[in-house]
Amino acid sequence: MAQSKTPLLDDLEKGAWPSFVTEMKKAAAKKANSQDLVDQLELSYKDKTGYWKHGGIVGVKGYGGGVIGRYSAKPEEFPNVKEFHTVRVNMVPGFFYTTEALRSLCETWDKFGSGLTNMHGSTGDVILLGTTTENLQPCFDELSEKGWDLGGSGGGLRTPSGCVGMARCEFACMDSMDFIQEVTRHFQNEIHRPAWPYKFKIKCSACANDCAAATARSDFAVIGTWRDTLKIDQKAVNEYVKGGFDIQQLVVGKCPTKALEYTGTELKFDAENCVRCMNCIDMMPKAIKPGKDRGAAILIGGKAPVVKSAFIGWVLVPFMKVDAPYTEIFDLISRITEYFDEHAKARERIGELIYRVGMGNFLKGIGLTPQPQMVSAPRANPYIFWQDEEVVKHG
């Protein structure tokens, strides 16, 4: 048997977890570029460094984003990945697919690309990994013909994404999939022709469990919630307890505001103290449901570390209704992105902009009034900016 050219990667075909190396090799059996990808990666494993050149700016006609340029740093050794660009395809909201749709996507990608994909990338797009500059336009033309549009990249709105929501979750307090679909359609120009100082991400989770990681990972997080009270079915509560469920430890003891008390026959509930964290609902989905007056909280500024620090989004709107046709929330997004575009420096995220100009100024700029839900505590320092109109003028 001939000695393998890729002993390091071959080792990662062993073991129980699905192997990305096996996947690469499947693609390599059909595509020369995937074979060169395997071989270049083997070299990376040997040398402990990446071999992709810096940056890359390629695209399709009429769009300023949606394609990430990538060039091998070793084009002589690996000529078939000299150009190996990524095409970001806007996924179906909720990541639902018919097999027909997936097969059609595969057919196009087998024709124009490497046959390798990520389902899905961190933002949510279908990542078609690896094609040439020459193939980009025909690939997009065919995708478009079949009903697949590109996602976002660069300094603009990134492809919005969200959780499964009402399609398959009893916790859903809003229609996250429909909202994501409509917000994506509404802001197409902002996705495809990036014109802002930096990226702006919108994510939506239909409840506070935040399966889409919206608060941590998006500039504008929409978190489904309610403003009336929990619906508790006492009979169902007692059935959980009869079944051996440790209500004290897992529900009462975990309530962050001590709003629940179990008497042995009844789950008592201090409605005004509920902070809608979802734990009791998560633990006893048959017995406890969200309230009926539903909408969402909006948090702003979430991001990863670079440059100023990682931020977990901050409360901007404690509660708003989010129902089709979504006029109010689209208007809010427009006001925020307009402010962002006008005031942010190059490569400054909205969280960093707010940190720089102050939340108070930001609220004024977008026309929102301060509310106590926005802070964990009021300021503890006396360094207040009083404005001219707030003091008595002399003379």
- Of 350-389, binders to other proteins (CB under 8 A) are none
Q: Is 309 in the site for other proteins (CB under 8 A)?
A: yes
Give the bridge partners for 126, in sequence order: 89, 119
CB of 24 to other proteins, least distance (A): 7
Cβ atoms 196, 341 nearer than 8 A:
yes
List, in order, residues 6 or more apart from 333 with CB less than 8 Å away. Answer: 183, 187, 202, 220
Question: Which residues inside 27-46 make contact with other proteins, applying CB under 8 A?
Answer: 27, 37, 41, 44-45
Q: Does residue 286 belong to the site contacting other proteins (CB under 8 A)?
A: yes
Binding flag, residue 341, other proteins (CB under 8 A): yes
239 touching other proteins, by CB under 8 A: no
Question: Contacts with other proteins: how many residues (CB under 8 A)?
Answer: 145
- Nearest distance in Å: CB 359, other proteins: 15
List the one residue from 147, 244, 378, 382 that touches other proteins (CB under 8 A): 147
Task: Please tell me whether residue 58 binds other proteins under the rule CB under 8 A.
Answer: yes
Q: Which of 80, 71, 86, 87 is nearest to 37 (CA)?
A: 80
For 197, the token pair is: 């100082």
Alpha carbon distances (Å) from 305 to 219, 281, 348, 357: 13, 32, 12, 19
| Closer CB to other proteins, 109 or 362, in the complex | 109
| Nearest C-alpha neighbor of 156 from the set 112, 214, 201 | 201
**Interacting span for other proteins (CB under 8 A) from 123-131, 265-273, 326-334, 357-365:** 123-131
Q: Is the peptide bond before 54 cis (omega within 30 degrees of 0)?
A: no
**CB under 8 Å to 318, separation ≥6 — which residues?**
297, 371, 373, 374
Q: Write the DSSP string, 59-70.
A: --TT-S-SEE--
Residue 254 CB, shortest distance to other proteins, in Å, is 5
The two three-digit tokens of residue 277, written as one number: 């964290």
Minimum distance from residue 170 beta carbon to other proteins (Å) = 4
Alpha helices in 193-326 (DSSP H): 214-217, 234-242, 247, 279-283
Residue 358, Ramachandran bin (φ over 0: left; ψ between -120 and 50: alpha; else beta):
left
Q: Quote the tokens at residue 104.
A: 């059609």
Q: Which of 153, 201, 260, 353 binds other proteins (CB under 8 A)?
A: 153
Instruction: Give the shortest CB-381-to-other proteins separation in angstroms.
Output: 13
CB neighbour list of residue 275: distance below 8 Å, 6 or more residues apart: 256, 257, 259
Give whole-number Cα distances, 20 to 9, 44, 118, in Å: 10, 15, 10
Binding positions for other proteins, 178-197, rule CB under 8 A: 178, 181, 184-185, 188-189, 192-197
* 134 in contact with other proteins (CB under 8 A): no
**According to the binding rule CB under 8 A, does residue 322 interact with other proteins?**
no
Segment 63 to 92, residues that bind other proteins, using CB under 8 A: 63-64, 68-71, 83-84, 86, 90-92
Residues 198-237 that bind other proteins (CB under 8 A): 199, 208-217, 223
- Token output for 227: 């403003």
- Identify the residue among 1, 17, 325, 390 touching other proteins (CB under 8 A): 17
C-alpha to C-alpha distance for 23 and 6, rounded to whole angstroms = 14
Query: Is residue 252 involved in binding other proteins (CB under 8 A)?
Result: no
Q: Which is nearer to other proteins, 2 or 16 (CB)?
A: 16
Q: Does 144 bind other proteins (CB under 8 A)?
A: yes
Measured from the CB atom, is 63 or 328 closer to other proteins? 63
Phi, psi of 272 (to 5 degrees): -70, -20
* DSSP summary character for residue 257: T
Tell me whether residue 369 or residue 376 sits nearer to other proteins (CB atom): 376
Tell me the window of 20-28, 260-268, 366-374, 384-392 that interacts with other proteins (CB under 8 A).
20-28
**Per-residue binder mask for other proteins (CB under 8 A), 90-109, x = binder:** xxxxxxxxxxxxxx-xx--x
Mode of pairing for the β-strands spanning 220-226 and 202-205: parallel
Q: Which of residues 256-285 bind other proteins (CB under 8 A)?
A: 256, 277-279, 282-283, 285
Contacts by 47-51, CB closer than 8 A, 24 or more apart: 51/78
Kindly state whether residue 242 participates in binding other proteins, applying the rule CB under 8 A. no
| Least spacing, CB of residue 35 vs other proteins, in Å | 13
Q: Check binding of 240 to other proteins (CB under 8 A).
A: no
Q: How far is the CB of 386 from other proteins (least distance, A)?
A: 26
